[in-house]
Amino acid sequence: MGRHCLLLRLVFLSVVSAASAYADFTADEFIYNGFFGSDLSLDNQALVSDGLLKLTDGVSSKGHAFYTFPLNFSSPEISNTSSSVPSFSTTFVFAIVSYYQGFSTDGLAFVLSSSKNLSSGFEDSQYLGLVDSLPSSTGNKESNHHLLAIEFDTIQNPELEDIDDNHIGIDVNSPISINSHTAGYYASDGTFYKLSLAGGEPMQVWVDYDSKHTILNITIAHYSLSSTKPNRPLISITYDLSSVLPNTSSAYAGFSSACGPINTRHYILGWSFNLSGEAAALNYSALSLNTIRQELAQQVRLPRDHSLSKKTILLCAILLPTLGIAMIISATIVKAHMDRLSESRTAEIEWDREYVPPSFTYKDLLAATGGFEDKMLLGRGGFGSVFRGVLRHSKKAIAIKRVAPESKQGMKEFVAEIVILGHLRHRNLVQLLGYCRHKQQLLLVYDYMPNTSLDYHLHTQQPNTTNLSWSQRFHIIRGIASGLFYLHEDWEQVVIHRDIKTSNVLLDSEMNARLGDFGLARSHDHGADAHTTRVAGTWGYIAPELARLGKATKATDVFAFGVLMMEVTSARRPIWVDSANGEPLALADWVLAAWQGGSITDAVDPRLDTYVEEEVDLVLKLGLLCSHPSPEARPCMRLVMQYLQRDTPLPADLQPDTLLSICVSHDDDEHPMSCPATAITDLSKGR
Ligand SMILES: *[C@@H]1O[C@H](CO)[C@@H](O)[C@H](O)[C@H]1NC(C)=O
Ligand SMILES: *[C@@H]1O[C@H](CO)[C@@H](O)[C@H](O)[C@H]1NC(C)=O
Ligand SMILES: *[C@@H]1O[C@H](CO)[C@@H](O)[C@H](O)[C@H]1NC(C)=O
Ligand SMILES: *[C@@H]1O[C@H](CO)[C@@H](O)[C@H](O)[C@H]1NC(C)=O
Ligand SMILES: *[C@@H]1O[C@H](CO)[C@@H](O)[C@H](O)[C@H]1NC(C)=O
Ligand SMILES: *[C@@H]1O[C@H](CO)[C@@H](O)[C@H](O)[C@H]1NC(C)=O
Ligand SMILES: *[C@@H]1O[C@H](CO)[C@@H](O)[C@H](O)[C@H]1NC(C)=O
């Protein structure tokens, strides 16, 4: 008996799932328990994969997805109402998954439209792909554009009169909402609970239109196995949709979405629509949540301290688009191929507009530094001076870099630094906390590094003693390698540091290395060709091909890192003048000479009493390999990490003679740095 039941149950289940796993359609109702490529009209980046409808995929992407067939608004049993748009009910589950937890651009919308072709709606992401511009004051009444959109907006655009950066709004033929509400739901006891649209969790939305009373209700809740529709809608308005969609014989339902400068994916997981009754509930276990869970697990968490993070991000990504500079920022951070176009515009960003809120006020910084007193001066660099300070309230120690203001170049470096640094998080990078603009001054605020720079520790000590032990030095080298690896290969865009040197390596209170000074850094898409307009860097660390062609690449960073590894080990500058003959001497040549002389460890800092010979040997040889004159011969940072962790042995044929024999000039600098899975292939390629 029991067995019989089970069998029946199985048969029943398979029948049900065959019917519901895909979608059920009639002219006026359909249900997608997951998407599998049927009956949707998609454009731009919208696509169906893994059971998900993905509307956007990363920075500056957009997409629309419409149910292919017009809604059958004209069937007789539903058309006899006071509104020519009949009642309808729809529910869907969406998720907004951003690279940064809780921050996303821009949002998505459920759309009823007279046309499936919204392809003109792509100019600016704040319009969510709905329209290409705000309607003019003379009105859009004559336009063919008939549109009802329920927007789920994660950005506050003042010119669109948005109420906040986490709201749901009803838009009629315009991205300016006729009604909106902070995202959330009312519990049965009437308490309002806020929901974070950009939080990444799937949310379920219900849109119900009662044609008889012309009432439009919007409801939203967390989506989970146990979630039910809240009784009280979030928004309930009286609005006759027949004014929006006068021709109901061609009305389409779908979604529109646009992603601005913060890498965000907009997903629809399931969707049901009904003209003849309440939209059917979605089947929780049929919707595919795995992809989204995986992506959420990889999200970058920003520090909770909102005084810094939120505003930095806001600056970089949220307010700029509202000022109409979204294109410039996305071009700068993201689109290497647009680098050229934006080059001139970046320098001319209209910082004069005072809308951008600084994350620190000048008053804060004045108080923190005692009015930029001389005794707070930590140093001066090519781009300005650096001050020490203590924030008044939090008592947090900070370093403030005052950027030399006049030059356009300085402005450009500043923009690059904020945009890039504001997005990078790694334990071996100096953290940018925020910034401030005062008159012509630009001030960048960082974590204060109490142990100053590596350069200081290596080169300004007594001849006979050093307080940097070998194990500290090895730890520092591995830390820098890890930070550089993150910049080159681990972050979403490739960042070329371009000025790796010991004075740009700062040491925190635990003597961990932190790479700083990204003023010269510029990011590139992975795989895209790096290009630059001028040589930047510091003598002794500049790779030969960089000096010759002025093109910074990952390989030129690796070159500088190779020099730095040898410098840390030997405590000698990259270039010095030989006292015997007055000739300049390069560190690499000197280390190579020691190796040829029989013992490479002779090059170690004589002040080090004890050190691990194998480690010194490894670091010096790897330093030589990294600072190889030929860029193809240099390992990528992934490989450097493997060598340093001793996961991969140095190539057996790495000998002083082989290093010398390839000291020939290569004009083939277009050669991209490859990083295959195994060490051996990479090196054999270089040989
Ligand atoms: C719309 O509904 C009417 C009446 O139910 C039906 O005759 C007609 O074929 C439907 N149109 C479409 C496109 O399904
Ligand atoms: C249509 O609506 C009108 C007024 O609302 C009503 O008088 C009429 O009986 C309705 N017809 C049908 C077929 O329901
Ligand atoms: C969509 O509209 C744009 C302009 O609004 C037009 O250029 C394009 O050809 C249209 N596409 C289709 C498929 O109709
Ligand atoms: C809309 O919400 C109001 C207020 O809660 C409710 O009375 C009404 O029945 C709802 N209408 C629909 C179509 O859901
Ligand atoms: C309404 O839409 C139908 C189908 O697309 C079209 O044939 C008709 O001309 C449209 N009528 C108006 C007034 O736009
Ligand atoms: C539409 O509503 C009718 C009536 O309540 C119901 O029988 C049907 O299952 C619903 N269909 C969908 C796809 O929601
Ligand atoms: C829900 O989906 C699961 C997995 O596809 C399926 O096994 C189950 O039968 C579905 N339930 C209903 C009520 O359709």
- Which of 6-15, 354-363, 668-677 is predicted least confidently? 6-15
Ligand 4 centroid vs 156 CA: distance in angstroms? 28
Is residue 364 among the annotated active site residues? Answer: no
Residues 6+ apart with CB under 8 A from 160: 126, 134, 175, 176, 177
The number of the ligand nearest the C-alpha atom of 211 reads 4
The residue nearest atom 1 of ligand 3, judged by CA position, is 117
What is the H or E stretch that residue 375 is in?
Answer: none
User: What's the rounded Cα separation, in Å, for the pair 674 and 555?
Assistant: 10
Residues 6+ apart with CB under 8 A from 559: 541, 542, 543, 546, 626, 627, 628, 631, 634
What phi, psi does 667 have (nearest 5°)? -95, -5
Ligand 6 centroid vs 150 CA: distance in angstroms? 22
Residues 6+ apart with CB under 8 A from 138: none
Ligand 7 centroid vs 293 CA: distance in angstroms? 20
Q: Which of 39, 73, 75 for mutating ligand 1's site (highest number of atoms within 8 Å of CB)?
A: 75
What is the H or E stretch that residue 496 is in?
Answer: strand 494-496
User: What's the rounded Cα separation, in Å, for the pair 6 and 12?
Assistant: 10
**CA angle at residue 619 from 614 to 622, to 5 degrees?**
120
What is the token pair recorded at 383? 């781009």
Mean pLDDT in residue range 592-610: 91
The residue nearest atom 13 of ligand 7, judged by CA position, is 283
The residue nearest atom 5 of ligand 3, judged by CA position, is 120
Q: Is the CB of 307 under 6 A from ligand 5?
A: no
Q: Is the CB of 280 under 6 A from ligand 6?
A: yes
- Which of 249-253, 586-590, 671-675 is predicted least confidently? 671-675
Residues 6+ apart with CB under 8 A from 6: none
Is residue 484 a contact partner of residue 515, using CB atoms and an 8 Å limit? yes
Instruction: DSSP letter for 103, please.
Output: B
Sign, Cα dihedral of 207, 211, 212, 216 = positive
CA distances from 161 to 171, 366, 450, 556, 618 (A): 12, 35, 45, 48, 61
Give the model's pLDDT for residue 258: 85
User: What's the rounded Cα separation, in Å, for the pair 190 and 186?
Assistant: 5
pLDDT grade, residue 126 (50/70/90)? low
What is the token pair recorded at 420? 């890039």
Residue ranges of alpha helices (H) inside 279-428 are 290-297, 309-313, 320-322, 326-333, 339-347, 362-368, 408-421
User: What's the rounded Cα separation, in Å, for the pair 567 and 587?
Assistant: 7
**Architecture label for domain 362-447:** 2-Layer Sandwich (3.30)
Residue ranges of alpha helices (H) inside 216-349 are 290-297, 309-313, 320-322, 326-333, 339-347
Give the model's pLDDT for residue 685: 29
The residue nearest atom 11 of ligand 5, judged by CA position, is 247
Instruction: DSSP letter for 602, please.
Output: G
Give the model's pLDDT for residue 250: 74
The predicted-structure confidence for 611-633, as pLDDT tens digits, reads as follows 999 999 999 999 999 999 889 88
The predicted-structure confidence for 640-655, as pLDDT tens digits, reads as follows 999 999 888 998 888 8
HSE (side-chain half, CA atoms, 13 Å) at 669: 19
Calculate what percentage of the chain has a pLDDT beyond 90. Answer: 25
Q: How many CB atoms lie within 10 A of CB 23?
A: 20
The predicted-structure confidence for 447-496, as pLDDT tens digits, reads as follows 888 888 898 888 876 777 778 999 999 999 999 999 999 888 887 778 88
Classify residue 414 by burial, with Cβ atoms within 10 Å: 0-12, 13-18, 19+.
buried
Classify residue 120 by burial, with Cβ atoms within 10 Å: 0-12, 13-18, 19+.
exposed
Give the model's pLDDT for residue 233: 96
- Helix orientation angle between 637-644 and 613-626, rounded to the nearest 10 degrees: 170
Domain ranges in the chain are 37-297, 310-352, 362-447, 454-661
The predicted-structure confidence for 483-520, as pLDDT tens digits, reads as follows 999 888 887 778 888 889 998 899 998 899 999 876 55
- Which of 17-31, 81-95, 284-298, 522-536 is predicted least confidently? 522-536
Q: Is the CB of 286 under 6 A from ligand 7?
A: yes
Is the CATH number of domain 37-297 2.60.120.200?
Answer: yes
Classify residue 643 by burial, with Cβ atoms within 10 Å: 0-12, 13-18, 19+.
buried
The number of the ligand nearest the C-alpha atom of 64 reads 3
What phi, psi does 390 have (nearest 5°)? -130, 125
Q: Residue 424's closest CA among 488, 499, 467?
A: 488
Sign, Cα dihedral of 155, 158, 159, 161 = positive
pTM: 0.51
- Helix orientation angle between 679-686 and 637-644, rounded to the nearest 10 degrees: 120
Is residue 18 a contact partner of residue 11, using CB atoms and an 8 Å limit? no
Reduce the DSSP state of residue 508 to 3 states and report it. Answer: coil
Q: Which of 185, 205, 206, 217 for mutating ligand 4's site (highest number of atoms within 8 Å of CB)?
A: 217
The number of the ligand nearest the C-alpha atom of 250 reads 5
Q: Which of 22, 285, 289 for mutating ligand 7's site (highest number of atoms within 8 Å of CB)?
A: 285
Q: Is the CB of 276 under 6 A from ligand 6?
A: yes
Q: How many CB atoms lie within 10 A of CB 348?
A: 12
Is residue 248 a contact partner of residue 73, using CB atoms and an 8 Å limit? yes
Q: Is the CB of 19 under 6 A from ligand 6?
A: no
How long, in residues, is the chain? 687
The residue nearest atom 11 of ligand 7, judged by CA position, is 283
Mean pLDDT in residue range 54-70: 84
pLDDT grade, residue 20 (50/70/90)? very low
Q: Is the CB of 247 under 6 A from ligand 5?
A: yes
What is the token pair recorded at 527? 């795989």
Q: Is the CB of 246 under 6 A from ligand 5?
A: no
Ligand 3 centroid vs 109 CA: distance in angstroms? 20
Q: Residue 387's closest CA among 416, 357, 360?
A: 360
The predicted-structure confidence for 367-390, as pLDDT tens digits, reads as follows 888 888 888 888 776 567 888 999
Q: Which of 115, 117, 247 for mutating ligand 5's site (highest number of atoms within 8 Å of CB)?
A: 247
In the chain, count of helices (H) and strands (E)? 18, 29
In the structure, which protein residues have their CB atom closer than 6 angstroms to any atom of ligand 1? Answer: 27, 72, 74-76
Instruction: Look up the CATH number of domain 454-661.
Output: 1.10.510.10
Give the model's pLDDT for residue 145: 67
Atom of ligand 6 at shortest distance to CA of 31? Answer: 13
Is residue 530 a contact partner of residue 556, using CB atoms and an 8 Å limit? no
Asked, colleague to colleague, whether 362-447 and 454-661 share their fold, the answer is no
| pLDDT for 74 beyond 70 | no
The predicted-structure confidence for 235-294, as pLDDT tens digits, reads as follows 999 998 888 877 667 788 999 988 876 778 899 999 999 987 899 999 888 888 888 888
HSE (side-chain half, CA atoms, 13 Å) at 475: 11
Q: Is the CB of 210 under 6 A from ligand 4?
A: yes
- Of 124, 171, 364, 499, the active-site residue reads 499
- Which of 354-358, 550-554, 669-673 is predicted least confidently? 354-358
Is residue 220 a contact partner of residue 234, using CB atoms and an 8 Å limit? yes
Annotated binding site: 401
Give the model's pLDDT for residue 569: 96
